[in-house]
């Protein structure tokens, strides 16, 4: 099947109101152009420099999502234009994004990544750390970031029950935070869960954004484990 047909097939499984982010990491700009020509505008990358290089050569109305672990010294490559940073996994990173936003006169939209998987290697806040951050004075003072919701990655397992439990845990945290008083720069609107192997479960569990790579582009050549 062609890339455009793959996209169409996946898009057909995504209900209205859920954003399909085509994860184009490691894929050449030409493949992104092919999906752009089919009308798709929302792409995700996990490396800041790769994202910035693609931004430079591709049409300006693409919405670029940063979904991978971000080092503070790489924020500068994407801060001027990034649509949403999904992978904010520490207060230090959020503070630095805020600092760069302030230099640019821009409010940078972010999601807070929560550690929901059993695996030790996944980045993110614990639910407790998240609560502390959102209640802190420091959070309120970060006027150049806008926290729009949460992101999570389930354990890489064929056990659908476990994946569902992990998504459900994040959803209930999301709902709890949505209902609680929060600083003006925090609005719980987006829940970024679901990848190629588990987006159908994530949608059933309340996802508003799915990040789909291999199901659209096919297997990546370079292994990526972020």
Ligand X SMILES: *Cc1c(COP(=O)(O)O)cnc(C)c1O
- DSSP H helical segments within the chain, as ranges? 3-11, 29-37, 48-57, 75-78, 91-104, 127-135, 137-141, 160-179, 199-204, 214-217
If one asks whether residue 130 binds ligand X (CB under 6 A), the answer comes out as: no
Interface characters, 63-82, with ligand X (x: CB under 6 A) = ----xx--------------
If one asks whether residue 195 binds ligand X (CB under 6 A), the answer comes out as: yes
CA dist 4 and 73 (Å) reads 36
Q: How many residues bind ligand X (CB under 6 A)?
A: 16
Helix axes 29-37, 48-57, angle to 10 degrees: 60
If one asks whether residue 114 binds ligand X (CB under 6 A), the answer comes out as: no
CA dist 111 and 150 (Å) reads 5
Q: Which of 95, 104, 196, 206 binds ligand X (CB under 6 A)?
A: 196
Interface characters, 35-64, with ligand X (x: CB under 6 A) = -----------x------------------
Within 13 Å and on the Cβ side, how many CA atoms surround 16? Answer: 0
Which residue lies nearer to ligand X by CB, 131 or 197? 197
Residues of this chain that bind ligand X (CB under 6 A): 23, 25, 46, 67-68, 153, 195-197, 211-215, 224, 226
């Amino acid at each position: 099947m062609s890339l455009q047909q793959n996209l169409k097939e996946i898009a057909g499984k995504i209900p209205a109101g859920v954003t399909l982010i085509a994860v184009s990491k490691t894929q050449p700009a030409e493949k992104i152009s092919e999906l752009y020509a089919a009308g798709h505008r929302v792409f995700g990358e996990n490396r800041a420099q790769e994202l910035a290089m693609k931004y430079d050569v591709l049409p300006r109305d693409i919405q670029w999502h940063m979904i991978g672990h971000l080092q503070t010294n790489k924020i500068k490559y994407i801060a001027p234009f990034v649509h949403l940073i999904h992978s904010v996994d520490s207060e230090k990173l959020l503070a630095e994004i805020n600092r760069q936003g302030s230099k640019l006169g821009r409010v940078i939209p972010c999601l807070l990544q929560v550690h929901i998987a059993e695996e030790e290697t996944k980045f993110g806040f614990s639910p407790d750390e998240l609560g502390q951050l959102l209640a802190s004075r420091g959070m309120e003072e970060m006027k150049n970031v806008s926290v729009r919701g949460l992101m999570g990655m389930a354990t890489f397992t064929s056990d659908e029950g476990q994946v569902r439990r992990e998504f459900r845990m994040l959803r209930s945290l999301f709902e709890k935070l949505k209902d609680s008083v929060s600083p003006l720069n925090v609005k719980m609107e987006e829940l970024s869960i679901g990848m190629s192997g588990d987006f159908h479960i994530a949608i059933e569990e309340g996802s508003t954004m799915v990040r789909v790579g291999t199901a659209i582009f096919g297997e990546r050549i370079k292994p990526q484990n972020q």
